[in-house]
Amino acid sequence: MLYMTPDNRNLIKSRCDTTWGRIITPDSFANAPKTPVWCGDNGVFTGRYRFWRFFRWLWKMRPHRHSCVFIAVPDVVGVAWLTILRFILLAPLVKFLGYPAALVGQDGLERWPWRAVLLWLPYDALFIGGSTKWKMSPAADDCIRRAQRRRKWVHVGRVNSQKRIRHFQLIGVDSVDGTSLTYAPDRDFWRFQKVLWQKPLFYLEENE
């Protein structure tokens, strides 16, 4: 599992290895990723998303699109059906620019008929967003497994503790991100690295 960290130049330059990637937004200072792989967020959660600014940024990042594992298509925080509608409208633009498009999972995605879109919607990755309560719930786990059955990349946002890293390792997600390393890199890097290096003794089985 990869841990995608925001830009922290000292961390990336001196300690980068195969367990680390980078998450970049239109607000990131650097214009190029300094890790082998990276992903892109849209800024909706922080309230800084602007349509033209977001797509101008994607155009600017096109030289690095081949190492991008996904771009989070603009979503609507906490509302699954509006997020799906936005995905249907905007994902084709993201794909046209050469990026894999991630559907952002929001509270309620597990409910019928919204969970049905995990079987047919043309997404390349599932980004688990939503509230903390929802993303740590069995409902979110069910959405993750549905995406895994389609062999989609699965990412979880706002994972800022060893306990959460272990939880999503057991489920078998591909990557997580968090801002903890931005504020306390010397404290958290080796704590997180230890968990990332330590392989789980078992993985949770899918419910057939």
Residue 205 lies in a domain: no
Average the pLDDT over 170-182 and give the result: 91
DSSP 152-171: -EEEES---SHHHHHHHHHH
Residue 11 lies in a domain: yes
pLDDT tens for each residue of 119-169: 999 999 999 999 999 999 999 999 999 999 999 999 999 999 999 999 999
**Bridge partner list, 155:** 127, 175
| Confidence at residue 61, expressed as pLDDT on a 0 to 100 scale | 95
Q: Residue 164, Cβ neighbours under 10 Å: how many?
A: 18
Q: How confident is the model at residue 203 (pLDDT cuts 50, 70, 90)?
A: low
HSE value, Cβ hemisphere, 13 Å, CA-based, for 102:
25
Lowest model confidence (mean pLDDT) among 30-34, 69-73, 200-204: 200-204
pTM of the complete model? 0.91
Q: Which domain holds residue 189?
A: 2-197
pLDDT tens for each residue of 4-38: 998 665 565 555 567 899 999 998 876 678 788 99
Residue 206 lies in a domain: no
Question: What Å distances lie between residue 181 and 9, 85, 152, CA to CA?
Answer: 11, 33, 27
CATH of the domain at 50: 3.20.20.60
How many independent structural domains does the chain possess?
Answer: 1
Residue 23 lies in a domain: yes
| Confidence at residue 32, expressed as pLDDT on a 0 to 100 scale | 75
Residue 135 lies in a domain: yes
Residue 202 lies in a domain: no
Residue 179 lies in a domain: yes
Residue 44 lies in a domain: yes
